[in-house]
Structure 1
Amino acid sequence: MPADELDARILALLLEQPRTSVREYARILGVARGTLQARLDRLDRDGVITGYGPRLSPEALGYRVLAFVHLEVTQGHLDATGRALAAVPEIIEAFSITGGGDLLTRVVARDAAHLEDVIQRLVQVPGVVRTRTEVALRERVPQRMLPLVREVGRDAAAGRTP
Protein backbone atom coordinates (compact mmCIF):
# COMPACT_ATOMS: atom_id res chain seq x y z
CA MET A 1 0.00 0.00 0.00
CA PRO A 2 1.53 3.34 -1.01
CA ALA A 3 2.09 5.94 1.68
CA ASP A 4 -0.29 8.88 1.73
CA GLU A 5 0.45 12.42 2.85
CA LEU A 6 -0.22 11.69 6.55
CA ASP A 7 2.01 8.61 6.41
CA ALA A 8 4.78 10.76 4.93
CA ARG A 9 4.33 13.35 7.68
CA ILE A 10 4.48 10.60 10.32
CA LEU A 11 7.61 9.08 8.79
CA ALA A 12 9.31 12.46 8.51
CA LEU A 13 8.55 13.17 12.16
CA LEU A 14 9.93 9.77 13.20
CA LEU A 15 13.15 10.56 11.34
CA GLU A 16 13.42 14.14 12.62
CA GLN A 17 12.49 13.41 16.24
CA PRO A 18 13.11 9.70 16.86
CA ARG A 19 12.97 9.90 20.66
CA THR A 20 9.54 11.52 20.96
CA SER A 21 6.50 9.73 22.40
CA VAL A 22 3.50 8.61 20.35
CA ARG A 23 1.34 11.04 22.32
CA GLU A 24 3.64 13.94 21.39
CA TYR A 25 3.77 12.86 17.73
CA ALA A 26 -0.05 12.88 17.66
CA ARG A 27 -0.13 16.36 19.20
CA ILE A 28 2.43 17.72 16.71
CA LEU A 29 0.57 16.21 13.75
CA GLY A 30 -2.86 17.23 15.02
CA VAL A 31 -4.31 13.71 14.89
CA ALA A 32 -5.80 11.42 17.52
CA ARG A 33 -3.36 9.17 19.34
CA GLY A 34 -5.36 6.11 18.21
CA THR A 35 -5.15 7.24 14.58
CA LEU A 36 -1.40 7.69 14.85
CA GLN A 37 -0.94 4.33 16.56
CA ALA A 38 -3.02 2.58 13.89
CA ARG A 39 -0.91 4.21 11.17
CA LEU A 40 2.33 3.21 12.91
CA ASP A 41 1.08 -0.37 13.29
CA ARG A 42 0.20 -0.53 9.58
CA LEU A 43 3.54 0.99 8.54
CA ASP A 44 5.28 -1.64 10.70
CA ARG A 45 3.14 -4.48 9.35
CA ASP A 46 3.64 -3.37 5.73
CA GLY A 47 7.43 -3.26 6.19
CA VAL A 48 7.74 0.50 5.64
CA ILE A 49 9.23 0.89 9.11
CA THR A 50 11.95 -1.74 9.37
CA GLY A 51 13.22 -1.06 12.88
CA TYR A 52 13.50 1.20 15.86
CA GLY A 53 16.67 1.99 17.68
CA PRO A 54 19.80 4.06 17.56
CA ARG A 55 22.03 4.27 14.50
CA LEU A 56 25.57 3.67 15.67
CA SER A 57 28.81 5.04 14.30
CA PRO A 58 31.37 2.33 13.49
CA GLU A 59 34.03 5.04 13.56
CA ALA A 60 33.13 6.04 17.11
CA LEU A 61 33.40 2.36 18.07
CA GLY A 62 36.99 2.27 16.76
CA TYR A 63 36.31 1.05 13.20
CA ARG A 64 37.79 3.96 11.27
CA VAL A 65 38.16 2.26 7.87
CA LEU A 66 35.15 1.70 5.61
CA ALA A 67 35.53 -0.45 2.51
CA PHE A 68 33.28 -1.92 -0.13
CA VAL A 69 34.33 -5.46 -0.95
CA HIS A 70 32.99 -7.05 -4.13
CA LEU A 71 32.90 -10.84 -3.98
CA GLU A 72 32.77 -13.22 -6.89
CA VAL A 73 31.02 -16.42 -5.81
CA THR A 74 31.03 -19.92 -7.27
CA GLN A 75 27.88 -20.40 -9.30
CA GLY A 76 25.11 -21.98 -7.25
CA HIS A 77 26.66 -21.04 -3.89
CA LEU A 78 25.29 -17.54 -3.42
CA ASP A 79 22.85 -18.38 -0.59
CA ALA A 80 25.32 -20.51 1.37
CA THR A 81 28.07 -17.93 0.94
CA GLY A 82 25.73 -15.16 2.08
CA ARG A 83 24.88 -17.14 5.21
CA ALA A 84 28.58 -17.72 5.93
CA LEU A 85 29.33 -14.01 5.52
CA ALA A 86 26.76 -13.22 8.22
CA ALA A 87 29.25 -14.71 10.72
CA VAL A 88 31.82 -11.99 9.94
CA PRO A 89 31.09 -9.11 12.36
CA GLU A 90 32.98 -6.53 10.28
CA ILE A 91 30.49 -6.99 7.43
CA ILE A 92 27.76 -4.49 8.25
CA GLU A 93 25.78 -4.96 5.01
CA ALA A 94 25.81 -7.33 2.07
CA PHE A 95 23.83 -7.31 -1.16
CA SER A 96 23.63 -9.62 -4.15
CA ILE A 97 24.28 -7.49 -7.23
CA THR A 98 24.52 -7.44 -10.99
CA GLY A 99 27.62 -6.36 -12.85
CA GLY A 100 31.17 -6.94 -11.63
CA GLY A 101 30.75 -9.56 -8.96
CA ASP A 102 27.98 -11.40 -7.18
CA LEU A 103 27.95 -9.80 -3.73
CA LEU A 104 28.77 -6.32 -2.51
CA THR A 105 29.65 -5.98 1.15
CA ARG A 106 30.15 -2.93 3.30
CA VAL A 107 33.02 -3.73 5.64
CA VAL A 108 34.47 -1.80 8.57
CA ALA A 109 37.91 -2.26 10.09
CA ARG A 110 40.03 -0.65 12.78
CA ASP A 111 42.89 0.11 10.38
CA ALA A 112 44.42 -1.04 7.09
CA ALA A 113 46.04 -4.13 8.63
CA HIS A 114 42.72 -5.17 10.17
CA LEU A 115 41.03 -4.66 6.79
CA GLU A 116 43.59 -6.97 5.21
CA ASP A 117 42.83 -9.59 7.89
CA VAL A 118 39.09 -9.29 7.19
CA ILE A 119 39.65 -9.67 3.45
CA GLN A 120 41.80 -12.76 4.06
CA ARG A 121 38.96 -14.19 6.13
CA LEU A 122 36.48 -13.46 3.32
CA VAL A 123 38.65 -15.22 0.74
CA GLN A 124 38.52 -18.35 2.90
CA VAL A 125 34.70 -18.42 3.01
CA PRO A 126 33.50 -21.45 0.97
CA GLY A 127 32.22 -20.28 -2.39
CA VAL A 128 34.24 -17.04 -2.57
CA VAL A 129 36.37 -17.10 -5.73
CA ARG A 130 37.89 -13.62 -5.60
CA THR A 131 37.44 -10.20 -4.04
CA ARG A 132 37.92 -6.62 -5.13
CA THR A 133 38.14 -3.92 -2.48
CA GLU A 134 37.48 -0.20 -2.64
CA VAL A 135 38.29 1.90 0.44
CA ALA A 136 36.02 4.85 1.17
CA LEU A 137 37.93 8.07 1.74
CA ARG A 138 35.18 10.32 3.09
CA GLU A 139 31.42 10.16 3.40
CA ARG A 140 29.88 12.74 1.06
CA VAL A 141 26.17 11.99 1.57
CA PRO A 142 25.29 10.23 4.82
CA GLN A 143 22.65 7.52 4.84
CA ARG A 144 19.33 9.31 4.81
CA MET A 145 15.66 8.76 4.20
CA LEU A 146 14.13 12.14 5.03
CA PRO A 147 14.48 13.66 1.50
CA LEU A 148 12.85 10.55 0.04
CA VAL A 149 10.00 10.63 2.58
CA ARG A 150 9.41 14.32 1.81
CA GLU A 151 9.26 13.49 -1.91
CA VAL A 152 6.70 10.74 -1.21
CA GLY A 153 4.64 13.28 0.76
CA ARG A 154 4.78 15.82 -2.08
CA ASP A 155 3.75 13.14 -4.57
CA ALA A 156 0.85 12.02 -2.37
CA ALA A 157 -0.31 15.61 -1.88
CA ALA A 158 -0.23 16.12 -5.66
CA GLY A 159 -2.10 12.85 -6.28
CA ARG A 160 0.89 11.13 -7.90
CA THR A 161 1.75 7.54 -7.04
CA PRO A 162 5.26 6.11 -7.23
Structure 2
Amino acid sequence: MDHLDLDRFDKAILTTLAEEGRISIADLARRIGLSKSPTQARLRKLERDGTIRGYRAILDPIQLGLDHVAFVEVKMSSTSEAALAKFNAAAASVPEIEQVHLIAGNFDYLLKVRTADMRAYRRVLAEKISTLPGMSSTSTYVAMEAVKEDGLADVT
Protein backbone atom coordinates (compact mmCIF):
# COMPACT_ATOMS: atom_id res chain seq x y z
CA MET A 1 0.00 0.00 0.00
CA ASP A 2 1.34 3.42 -0.91
CA HIS A 3 1.62 5.91 1.89
CA LEU A 4 1.09 9.58 1.30
CA ASP A 5 3.78 12.15 1.91
CA LEU A 6 2.18 14.33 4.55
CA ASP A 7 3.76 17.64 5.41
CA ARG A 8 3.49 19.32 8.80
CA PHE A 9 0.22 21.08 7.88
CA ASP A 10 -1.45 17.81 6.79
CA LYS A 11 -0.26 16.12 9.98
CA ALA A 12 -1.54 19.04 12.06
CA ILE A 13 -4.95 18.78 10.34
CA LEU A 14 -5.13 15.04 11.03
CA THR A 15 -4.02 15.36 14.65
CA THR A 16 -6.48 18.19 15.34
CA LEU A 17 -9.42 16.42 13.68
CA ALA A 18 -8.65 13.16 15.50
CA GLU A 19 -8.95 15.04 18.78
CA GLU A 20 -11.75 17.42 17.82
CA GLY A 21 -13.71 16.29 14.75
CA ARG A 22 -16.32 19.05 14.91
CA ILE A 23 -13.87 21.95 14.74
CA SER A 24 -14.78 24.63 12.19
CA ILE A 25 -12.58 25.27 9.18
CA ALA A 26 -11.78 28.74 10.55
CA ASP A 27 -10.67 27.33 13.91
CA LEU A 28 -8.76 24.51 12.22
CA ALA A 29 -6.97 27.00 9.96
CA ARG A 30 -6.08 29.20 12.92
CA ARG A 31 -4.80 26.21 14.90
CA ILE A 32 -2.50 24.92 12.14
CA GLY A 33 -1.30 28.34 10.98
CA LEU A 34 -2.82 28.57 7.48
CA SER A 35 -5.64 30.61 6.03
CA LYS A 36 -9.09 29.07 5.48
CA SER A 37 -8.83 28.38 1.73
CA PRO A 38 -5.62 26.31 1.77
CA THR A 39 -6.77 24.51 4.92
CA GLN A 40 -10.07 23.61 3.28
CA ALA A 41 -8.28 22.47 0.09
CA ARG A 42 -5.93 20.25 2.11
CA LEU A 43 -8.86 18.84 4.10
CA ARG A 44 -10.77 17.98 0.91
CA LYS A 45 -7.67 16.28 -0.52
CA LEU A 46 -7.20 14.21 2.64
CA GLU A 47 -10.88 13.17 2.42
CA ARG A 48 -10.67 12.44 -1.33
CA ASP A 49 -7.56 10.26 -1.08
CA GLY A 50 -9.05 8.28 1.82
CA THR A 51 -6.67 9.42 4.57
CA ILE A 52 -9.76 10.76 6.34
CA ARG A 53 -12.32 7.98 5.97
CA GLY A 54 -15.20 9.75 7.67
CA TYR A 55 -16.50 11.52 10.74
CA ARG A 56 -18.56 10.11 13.59
CA ALA A 57 -19.57 10.61 17.19
CA ILE A 58 -17.55 8.71 19.78
CA LEU A 59 -20.07 7.08 22.07
CA ASP A 60 -19.42 6.21 25.69
CA PRO A 61 -20.14 2.47 25.93
CA ILE A 62 -20.40 2.63 29.73
CA GLN A 63 -23.20 5.21 29.48
CA LEU A 64 -24.90 2.85 27.02
CA GLY A 65 -24.71 -0.05 29.47
CA LEU A 66 -22.02 -1.93 27.53
CA ASP A 67 -19.53 -2.38 30.37
CA HIS A 68 -18.20 -5.84 29.51
CA VAL A 69 -15.24 -6.17 27.12
CA ALA A 70 -13.82 -9.52 26.10
CA PHE A 71 -11.00 -10.33 23.72
CA VAL A 72 -11.47 -13.61 21.95
CA GLU A 73 -8.71 -15.61 20.31
CA VAL A 74 -10.10 -17.62 17.42
CA LYS A 75 -8.40 -20.63 15.83
CA MET A 76 -9.63 -21.58 12.38
CA SER A 77 -9.95 -25.10 10.97
CA SER A 78 -8.72 -23.74 7.62
CA THR A 79 -6.87 -20.56 6.71
CA SER A 80 -7.54 -20.70 2.98
CA GLU A 81 -8.52 -17.39 1.43
CA ALA A 82 -12.07 -18.65 0.91
CA ALA A 83 -12.39 -19.72 4.58
CA LEU A 84 -11.00 -16.40 5.81
CA ALA A 85 -13.33 -14.44 3.51
CA LYS A 86 -16.38 -16.32 4.84
CA PHE A 87 -15.29 -15.77 8.43
CA ASN A 88 -14.58 -12.07 7.79
CA ALA A 89 -18.03 -11.44 6.30
CA ALA A 90 -19.83 -13.33 9.05
CA ALA A 91 -17.85 -11.75 11.91
CA ALA A 92 -18.39 -8.26 10.48
CA SER A 93 -22.15 -8.81 10.69
CA VAL A 94 -22.18 -9.49 14.46
CA PRO A 95 -22.96 -6.15 16.16
CA GLU A 96 -21.35 -7.09 19.48
CA ILE A 97 -17.99 -7.65 17.76
CA GLU A 98 -16.32 -4.23 17.72
CA GLN A 99 -13.05 -5.28 16.08
CA VAL A 100 -11.77 -8.24 14.07
CA HIS A 101 -8.03 -8.65 13.49
CA LEU A 102 -6.31 -11.38 11.48
CA ILE A 103 -3.25 -12.31 13.54
CA ALA A 104 0.13 -13.86 12.77
CA GLY A 105 0.77 -16.13 15.74
CA ASN A 106 -0.58 -19.09 17.69
CA PHE A 107 -4.18 -18.26 16.75
CA ASP A 108 -5.80 -16.78 13.67
CA TYR A 109 -8.10 -13.95 14.77
CA LEU A 110 -8.44 -11.61 17.72
CA LEU A 111 -11.95 -10.25 18.31
CA LYS A 112 -12.94 -7.40 20.60
CA VAL A 113 -16.45 -8.08 21.87
CA ARG A 114 -18.53 -5.61 23.89
CA THR A 115 -21.66 -6.60 25.79
CA ALA A 116 -23.62 -5.52 28.85
CA ASP A 117 -22.32 -8.24 31.15
CA MET A 118 -20.94 -11.79 31.35
CA ARG A 119 -24.35 -13.36 30.79
CA ALA A 120 -24.81 -11.39 27.56
CA TYR A 121 -21.26 -12.27 26.50
CA ARG A 122 -21.89 -16.00 27.08
CA ARG A 123 -25.00 -15.75 24.90
CA VAL A 124 -23.08 -13.98 22.12
CA LEU A 125 -20.29 -16.54 22.35
CA ALA A 126 -22.68 -19.50 22.20
CA GLU A 127 -25.16 -18.20 19.64
CA LYS A 128 -23.05 -16.03 17.36
CA ILE A 129 -19.27 -16.38 17.72
CA SER A 130 -19.23 -20.18 18.06
CA THR A 131 -21.31 -20.51 14.90
CA LEU A 132 -19.00 -18.41 12.71
CA PRO A 133 -17.88 -20.38 9.64
CA GLY A 134 -14.58 -22.23 9.77
CA MET A 135 -13.98 -21.67 13.45
CA SER A 136 -12.22 -24.43 15.36
CA SER A 137 -11.85 -23.04 18.91
CA THR A 138 -11.87 -19.89 21.01
CA SER A 139 -10.19 -18.56 24.15
CA THR A 140 -11.66 -15.59 25.99
CA TYR A 141 -9.88 -12.89 27.98
CA VAL A 142 -12.02 -10.43 29.92
CA ALA A 143 -10.78 -6.85 30.23
CA MET A 144 -10.88 -5.44 33.76
CA GLU A 145 -10.25 -1.82 32.74
CA ALA A 146 -9.62 0.15 29.56
CA VAL A 147 -6.43 2.11 30.16
CA LYS A 148 -6.28 3.70 26.67
CA GLU A 149 -9.07 3.41 24.17
CA ASP A 150 -9.14 6.68 22.26
CA GLY A 151 -8.05 5.27 18.92
CA LEU A 152 -5.68 8.18 18.32
CA ALA A 153 -2.42 7.44 16.61
CA ASP A 154 0.52 9.83 16.39
CA VAL A 155 0.76 11.08 12.80
CA THR A 156 4.01 12.97 13.29
TM-score by length of 1: 0.84
Residue 144 of structure 1, CA deviation: 3.8
Query: Amino acid of the residue matched to residue 125 of structure 1?
Result: L
Deviation for aligned residue 1:62:
1.1
What letter corresponds to residue 86 of structure 2 in structure 1? A
- 1:108 corresponds to: 114
User: Distance in 2 between the 1:79 and 1:106 partners?
Assistant: 19
Confirm or deny: 8 A CA contact 1:69 1:105 kept in the other structure: yes
Q: 1:73 touches 1:81 (CA, 8 Å); kept in 2?
A: no
For residues 67 and 123 of structure 1, what CA distance do their matches in structure 2 show? 14
1:92 matches 2:92: no
Q: Work out which structure has the larger RCO, using CA pairs closer than 8 Å and 6 or more positions apart in sequence.
A: 1
- Which ranges of structure 1 fall in alignment gaps of 5 or more residues? 153-162
Matches within 5 A, 1:12-27: 12-27=15-30
Work out whether 1:68 is the aligned partner of 2:71.
Answer: yes
Contact 1:63 1:108 in 2 (8 A): yes
Identical pairs, percent: 34
**Gaps spanning 5+ residues in structure 2: where?**
none
In structure 1, distance between residues paired with 2:106 and 2:140:
12
CA apart distance, 1:135: 0.6
SS at match of 1:15: helix
The number of equivalent residue pairs is 149
